[in-house]
A and B are shown apart, each in its own frame.
Chain A
Amino acid sequence: MTSAQAQETGSERTGIFPIEVAGVEVLCDWRGAAYVPNHRLLTISDLHFEKGSSFARRGSFVPPYDTHETLGRVARIVEDYDPAVVVCLGDSFHDDNGHDRIPDEIFKDIVRLEDGRDWCWISGNHDPSAPSKLPGFSADELAIGGLVFRHEPHADSAAGEISGHLHPAARIFRRGRTVRRTCFACDRNRLIMPAFGAFTGSLNVLAPAYESLFDWPRMQALLLGDRRIYPIPATHLVPDRSCVIKEKSRHRA
């Protein structure tokens, strides 16, 4: 599929929201993936494969189906876009031994999915080592045509960074009710991807961790809905706890 075709079908498909990151067109998909038509590149972040078994090791038996579930979602998106390049933005495995615990069948499914395209495993804080047994290449970051892909966003990064790590979510408060969703967080220079894994939690974009990352007047959250993306500017978002009183600095009188 050419980029033009992707866009064409994209406009028919609901739930795709185009943005620009440092002037490059990026299509945000309601399922939590982003597609760069110019490079036929699909990116997903924070898959956290084998989070279930990681918990089970500590005696908490959450269902063992998370890898299967997450991979199924990845596969559907990959089939839809048929990208030339797939970039997994780090924390693809919940821990560094995660890829060793992947059941054989699922392992084969991943290999099959990688077939015929370039697959890049960006390293994350949960999975600093490369998944040696899986095909594809590993990198700490990847720069392609004005965009740079890495796991953790850099506060002083130049324009064009696409990252993950923070698991952004946003919350609105309206008529006495609140809605909280995972989201893409972006301004014109930077995009932070939602966490894709089936068992991944999230962190509100108004939390301090994001404070230095955005040009706030231009920041917007793209909330994931059912076959829809809801773009909401930062001014209309609320934190999870409505007012966090900051500790008064000890240095001041």
Chain B
Amino acid sequence: MFDYAPAPESRDLVKFQESYGHFIGGKFTKPSNTYGTINPATEQTLAQISHGTAKDVDAAVKAARSAYEKTWSKLDGATRGKYLYRIARIIQERSRELAVAETLNNGKPIKETRDADIPLAASWFFYYAGWADKLDYAGLGANPMAHGVAAQVVPWNFPLMMLAWKIAPALAAGNTVVLKPAETTPLSALLFAEICQQAELPEGVVNIVTGFGDTGAALIDHGDINKVAFTGSTNVGRIIAKQIAGTNKKATLELGGKAANIVFEDAALDQAVEGIVNGIFFNQGHVCCAGSRLLVQESVQDVLIKKLKARMENIRLGDPMDKNTDIGAINSKAQLTKIDRLVKQGVKEGGERWAPACAMPKNGFWFAPTIITGVAPTNTVAREEIFGPVLSVMTFRTPAEAVAKANNSQYGLSAGVWTEKGSRILKMADQLNAGVVWANTYNQFDPASPFGGFKESGYGREGGRHGLLSYLKGSN
């Protein structure tokens, strides 16, 4: 048999500073109150990061407010757009460096940062750059207005891509921003701050404050922000919705999911297997829209699971910097503990656990790609978001039963449908209560395409014209 030779990407493509301050008013502050950020694949410290305080947040909001009033809101849309085009181009120019930085800090495979995270981040800026001078066509009538200062809090699963989803439409619409990256993955946001400097973006238009949950809470609570955009867990989303109750702050919340990936007996099963693998094992399953509940029609359950297991035997888990790696490191010890706890709970509640034999690296945080069969709809692993490479398998007999089971969730972010019957796809797409439905594909993203959830998966959309609307209001 053939085997893969190691094909590591060069670690030297990125050089981190020893320590970082916040990026406020176009400059980096002196590092203070620092903590180490690590590579989850090796547990080695990459840099020291400042843990932002309420005072830091206040300085950043003041810088953003001042930039909004003095420069950004006075610029014409075409000029704002040109800055965004510049940023898009610099991200493309520095894409290898950014991919390596992201993989080192997040633990995800280099092939994903190289082919998905970074190109999508660039495309998001390129797409929204073109909107900046066309706001009259956004659908709110002539001369729509920005909200003002946007507070943005992003998660650790797609650090730079989530930053782009937040910052690009905000700036195109004429807002200024204060963004807080996740505590475990701040480095690509800090490199992005450098990119803002290289693009000569006016100071204070983008501010980055690093830190933990308390830093984010201070930002959301700040009295001088007008717009909140958050991607993360439903629990934190709930807290934010309560925090801003009774204020004039507008919110976009992109929260958890427990997507059903539905395979009918007439599906192209080999394609479906690829889609299932992509749906749940992409990015170690650290994806809010991951296809974490496989609903397979009873008649093809045995053959599909057999094919799926055979495919999973060929998944390569290991060094994220290796270009052939499919599954990298779990982002943090805390996340690994959570995945482990939920899987054990699922087995206790009657599920049967299976994973291919795979060698785990000695250091770092790892979890083998896993499926749990025989899962009842009441099982914890059928209801709770695991946010890891774990697939819960259930069966159905009729399309109506598939819809009922798929919709039986507090979440409603995404769903997958696999069938060769066109009319069935369209009817399923109508009936599934999910913000994104992927039919005969999965985990596709594009800046022109709106993304966001129903029910407790949040509200507001990111991407496309609808994503722009989240950052605009009609003129009075």
Are A and B subunits of one complex?
no
Q: Which residues of B contact A (CB under 8 A)?
A: none
Q: Which residues of A contact B (CB under 8 A)?
A: none
